[in-house]
A and B are shown apart, each in its own frame.
Chain A
């Protein structure tokens, strides 16, 4: 039996590995006997680099972790650093952060949506998703000045205020995004081929999900209603009314539905924030130029946040100097990816791409 198996390396050069994932699979015909993810092809030593600079300088490294949702990475670091240094943040800055993070979650899910279609052999939805994402990037361009890696959140606030023009752009976006999203989702939901290919594929039971540390939409698709915005609220999420979508099935289709619903909930959150956005400072006046200040810190802190992929947080240890003693990244994609062997065993080659893309791994974050 053993010698009949074929060992195939999916990746690191392969059209549907979302970067540089390599999966060593042993195949019996079309069936996957064994799958083993190999990572490390995008390692950039981000943790050590962040430990070698002043506290504000680490921002560019957290930007480049999950590069399709940079602001979520920045938020994780900023909250942790502010907790460590006990810095108060003005209310307006916190609401701005919430709003932009939710928009970035939508952008990230849109990328996942499009590439998931590509992995299933559908070319067209990809372009529709990027059309919508482009509108979000225009908003970010107006607010932060850049389109992909923002470096916008600062310890003590945000770098610039949100202009009335940007508010208008966000209003326009939230006004018609859901109808456009439903248009795109029809391509998947009403497609018999897609539904047939994804139901019952890549199943992850709740026990497995919990034991592998899987978080985010994948955990919620396995049946646990666990969202850090709800369960351990940070910023002002407790003042906002939103649902946590969950599905009991734990397959690819369930993850698809959960992410779809999450996008709609994010839009709902942004709409509420627009009505509640207070006036005031957008950064703590005590740190007039946040980038230049040499902050010192002592102690340790960790603030878990809900990034589009799952629980994201940065564990900081300060030794009283201007540089962090330890900068540990808890990245959701890494933990989610470790469940790959369980999800692939016994399925077919075609299910491999469906399952891997349903995990939504981003390799900046996995390899750091």
Chain B
């Protein structure tokens, strides 16, 4: 049973208790009442998941700042709230107060649209992650047979926003940021897709929940080491954090595609960055480390998933703090000459495994 139907049945129960009877309402033969109920439930769930993911982002930003400060002989935020934990909230208020600046020769519509396009996948992606199950209830907002395909489709929306933002800013640095973003996306997305396809072949299903279930004995990181590394590098590039922060390139292109953005629009880019870090950690944990599957059945699956995702978040943070930036040609070399062949080899391996010992998974 999915979370969707669980909440739907609760809604039905509440409505029945209140003697409101619009569910069987028909209009011209269509079950409009049921559609309205679905829409309400969907909206409620998306809002809950969105709020939780934003909470995760707030925690992640705080941990990032403190951890980074700790590694750099600094104290980090320590003024706003207990141990500086409300610093991000203060920052958001500061950003909201700022003047809404749009360059006079920018394409205004595209310029305003870009941050939301970048942010969309963060809001949508968490809907498709299986967070565990409580007895027969799947903690998954949307559970349908093609979850992973939709997850990947959501995640490749965001570079589009970066390109639109960079091209519409009317700034040469932004233009270069957009072009680099485009080059980088093509560089890592093809190997990323191929390594996801090999996971799908091995699990025999497009559904994220089935992929998790297929890893109950052996997590996919063991049969698909190559695919894991390809996907891991692709995920670092996806978040555009060092060493692959080429679209932003802090010291070369002033701030890349987001050079002209200020105020809350910049804040949205910033939140999207950390949101992506959280989302990609969950995706890697789900696809390669067995998601919510854990050794002890009495510990809820959500705990295992959070532990696994937290490991990746820390690795991403460390990569951000410790490493320098590669050059664009070096990144494209890595993408096309190393990641792509490796992912194809991995595809062959997993196809062979699926044909011979597919029953294990």
Contact = CB atoms under 8 A, between A and B. Distances in A.
A14 B243 CA distance: 21
Contacts of A124: 71-72, 321-322
Interface string B221-248: 0000000000000000000001101000
A350 B325 contact: yes
A123 interface: yes
Contact of A120 (B71, B324, B329): B324
Contacts of A14: 254
**Size range of the chain B interface in the assembly:** 20 to 34
B327 A15 contact: no
Interface in A100-155: 117-124, 126-128, 131
A214 to B, nearest CB: 24
B172 A8 contact: yes
B74 interface: yes
Contacts of A131: 73
B62 interface: no
Interface stretch (A188-196, A230-238, A260-268): A188-196
B326 interface: yes
Nearest to A134: B73
Given A8-B173, A128-B73, A193-B243, A351 B251 contact: no
Contact of B324 (A8, A15, A197, A352): A197
A193 B326 contact: yes
A331 interface: no
A350 B173 contact: no
A3 to B, nearest CB: 15
A30 B329 contact: yes
B288 interface: no
A119 B323 contact: no
B330 interface: yes
Contacts of A123: 68, 72, 321
Given A187-B322, A193-B326, A353 B74 contact: no
B329 A349 contact: no
A167 interface: no
B330 to A, nearest CB: 6
B251 A119 contact: yes
Contacts of B32: none
Contacts of A197: 324-327, 330
A127 B74 CA distance: 8
Contacts of A6: 172
Interface string B52-76: 0000000000000000100111100
B329 A121 contact: no
A118 B172 contact: no
B253 interface: yes
B250 A121 contact: yes
B74 A350 contact: no
Interface in A167-208: 187, 191, 193-194, 196-197
A211 B269 CA distance: 48
Contacts of A191: 323-324
A353 to B, nearest CB: 5
A225 B270 CA distance: 49
Contacts of A352: 252
Contacts of B251: 15-16, 118-121, 353
A22 interface: no
B338 to A, nearest CB: 13
Interface string B320-350: 0111111111100000000000000000000
Contacts of A16: 251-252
A16 B251 CA distance: 5
B326 A349 contact: no
A81 B240 CA distance: 55
Interface in A325-350: 348-350
A53 B155 CA distance: 67
Interface in B152-167: none
B184 interface: no
B324 A194 contact: yes
B121 to A, nearest CB: 25
B55 to A, nearest CB: 26
Given A121-B242, A187-B322, A15 B328 contact: no
A349 B252 contact: yes
Contact of A122 (B73, B323, B327, B330): B323
19 contacts: A6-B172, A117-B324, A118-B251, A120-B324, A121-B249, A121-B250, A121-B251, A123-B72, A126-B72, A128-B72, A191-B324, A193-B323, A194-B324, A348-B328, A348-B329, A349-B252, A349-B253, A350-B252, A351-B327
Given A127-B72, A348-B328, 19 more contacts: A30-B329, A117-B324, A120-B251, A121-B245, A124-B72, A124-B321, A127-B73, A127-B74, A191-B324, A193-B323, A194-B324, A196-B326, A197-B324, A197-B326, A348-B327, A348-B329, A349-B252, A350-B327, A353-B252
Interface of B: 68, 71-74, 172-173, 176, 242-243, 245, 249-254, 321-330
Question: Which 3 residue pairs spanning A and B have beta carbons closest together?
Answer: A121-B325, A127-B72, A16-B251
